[in-house]
Chain A
Amino acid sequence: MAITITEAPVRRPVRDRHHRGVSRWVVLTLVTAGALVMLVPFAFMLLNAFKSPGDYSSSGPLSWPTEFYTTGLRTYWSTVDFPLKLWNSALIAGSVAVLGVVVSLLNAYALGIGRVRGRLWIVGVFLLANMLPQEALIYPLYYVAKEIGLYNTRLSVIIIFTVIQSAFGTYLLASVLGTFPRSLLEAAALDGAGKWTVLWRVVFPNLRPTLAVLLIFFFIWTWNEFLIPLVMLIDNQTQTIPVALASLQGDRLMDAPTTNAGALISLVPAILFFLIFQRTLARGITAGAEK
């Protein structure tokens, strides 16, 4: 949809478009139209999340709701026990973010500052691990989790994602720490600081902005994960927000307004993170792309 709208500026390059007032407005209109097309699904969802099933079946998905109907929202909220799902998602994503950053930092300290032997190979292994399809790990993980009693626990998902996320974190931080000013380290060493002290008193404070970005990334990535939680978390007590929505939808238990209401509540936390962390993330994406 957006394709046809945005191709126009390239097809018809106007020589002095910037000197005339009109062409820039044409470009603005086309890009704005594209942006609106991007938002249409959200509009559909909002429109139908507050519609009663009767209203929906009689006047369809495009009509304005005849009343502000919140029963669908409340039904979804209580059917899936949404506060519990929110807590599960927050607990898993929060633990993974913190643990993942700590593990990444320790690994990267050894690789980037310690420059242990074979570090290029080790960083390469971490980088590749980050790209593996989760299907290549899932069955053994599922089987072993069942054997040792970790199946259907949030802990299993926390451990797995801590490792998966820290594979990326190690790769990123190792390259950042590779350029860490040696003079700072040497000054600390002259003061008699050990490796542990240097890590927390010198490296950590300097790295804090990068670690914050990594923390947010890990949190959001883990929040949005699907396959591993789907396989590992099978009941109401442990499931995360996306898994709860997908399993209800899979059971075909929900009418269209409830589906939209469920999707709407499930989106709210993600959109809140987006608004809160927007600037940090934009900076982080740059950092990630420039390496």
Chain B
Amino acid sequence: MTVSTPAPPSRRRRPRGRDAAYWLYLLPGATLFVLVIGAPLVGTGYLSLTRWSGVGDPTFVGLDNYQRLLHDEVFWASFRNTVAMIVAMVVVPTLLGLLLASVLFDVIGRRFKPRTAAALRAAFYLPQVLPVVVAGIVWGWILRPDGAFNSLLDAVGLGALRHDWLGDPDTALPAVMAVMIWVQIGYPVVVFMAALQRVDPELYEAAEVDGANWLRRFRAITLPQIRPETFVVALTCTIAALKVFGPIFALTRGGPENATNVPSYFAYYTFFKKLQVGYGSAISTVLTMIIVVVAVVFIVVQARSERRDRGI
């Protein structure tokens, strides 16, 4: 598959024969890639055109599964919840992360000891190192009717707000979103803080001498300087939000009444609980296409903005 890809015209002086031996180095990786990623991907695409329970032979049904998807309320609900996941895993953590990283770097790192900033950064980053399922299980217990969160509300005199946070369709999604913000926030904080280290300190000092306050410096220096990192964070977090599975599995299994269902959990459930392999494959294929489109759009936009910057 890789061999047949069209090659951009080579303008190098190197004789062709020299290239050939390098293909050998690509051989093991490419073979594994075709077996473990390429073939299964094509397989899922094919299965999405069939009806199959996983035993016997699949029955070819054309685009029936996709037609069914269009009229499936659960499918649409799962994609609406994906938007909520993007808010909780991309929008809020990126904005909050910019703010926190900037404050940690610019105020705390410079006006206090750098170790203070490093310790605070570690606290925000800690949830990122945990297996996300373990975090989900702990949060699932905290948010239970008899869990720690309700006890905390009691203890501070807000007992009237006691609630089955994950069990009520109205509060389950906001609760899951809050957990995802907690899980995700450390990643942008750490990336942005690292990014700020390569910004020339003289920029900040000059701005300060000119009397620019923190907000001005944030907008005029911090944001433009770390835009490449912001792109990377936004892209990787968006892909993660589109694929989110573990936390949903651990917290709610998509319930109650699909209030927190997401495409990847919906696909898993359709494959392995309902044994509708064709339909599950159609869900996965649609999700894959959305992810590919989002990734390509991101990369094109980033390339354009880089080019524009260089033009100016």
Contacts and interface: CB of A to CB of B under 8 A. Distances in A.
Given A3-B92, A110-B23, A289-B228, A44 B245 contact: no
Q: Which of A9, A48, A111, A140 has the most CB of B within 10 A?
A: A140
A32 B120 contact: yes
Interface in B116-173: 116, 120, 122-124, 126-127, 129-135, 137-142, 146-148, 151-152, 155
A9 B54 contact: no
Interface in A102-128: 103-104, 106-107, 109-111, 113-118, 120-122, 125-126, 128
Contacts of A138: 40, 268, 271, 284
A54 B216 CA distance: 57
B191 A285 contact: yes
B90 interface: no
Given A38-B182, A133-B284, A106 B126 contact: no
B213 interface: yes
Contacts of A87: none
Contacts, number: 314
Contact of A263 (B137, B198, B228, B292): B137
Contact of A266 (B39, B134, B186): B134
A170 interface: yes
B239 to A, nearest CB: 5
Contacts of A140: 39-40, 43-44, 47
Given A2-B185, A61-B147, A114-B19, A282 B194 contact: yes
Contact of B8 (A109, A118, A143, A271): A118
A253 interface: no
B243 A134 contact: yes
Contacts of B233: 289
Nearest to A113: B22
A64 interface: no
B32 interface: yes
Interface string A134-155: 1111111101100000000000
Interface string A269-291: 01101100010001001101110
Contacts of B155: 62
A35 B124 contact: yes
A98 to B, nearest CB: 14
Interface in A187-225: 195, 199, 220, 223-224
Contacts of B295: 128, 131
Interface residues of B, number: 111
A113 B21 CA distance: 12
Nearest to B289: A136
A35 B264 contact: no
B100 A141 contact: no
B34 to A, nearest CB: 10
Given A137-B36, A224-B131, A10 B215 contact: yes
A274 B211 CA distance: 40
A181 interface: no
Interface in A1-42: 1-3, 6-7, 9-10, 13-18, 24, 27-28, 31-32, 34-36, 38-39, 41-42
A135 B287 contact: yes
Contacts of B29: 103-104, 106-107, 166, 170
25 contacts: A31-B120, A38-B124, A61-B146, A103-B28, A104-B29, A106-B26, A107-B30, A111-B26, A129-B33, A134-B243, A137-B36, A139-B43, A139-B44, A159-B32, A159-B36, A162-B32, A170-B29, A226-B249, A260-B141, A267-B131, A274-B126, A289-B229, A289-B233, A290-B195, A290-B198
Interface of B: 2, 5-8, 10, 12, 19, 21-26, 28-30, 32-33, 35-37, 39-41, 43-44, 47, 54, 92, 96, 99-100, 103-104, 107-108, 111-112, 116, 120, 122-124, 126-127, 129-135, 137-142, 146-148, 151-152, 155, 178, 181-182, 185-186, 190-191, 194-195, 197-198, 208, 211, 213-216, 218, 228-229, 232-233, 239, 242-243, 245-246, 249-250, 263-264, 267-268, 271-272, 277, 280-281, 283-285, 287-288, 291-292, 295
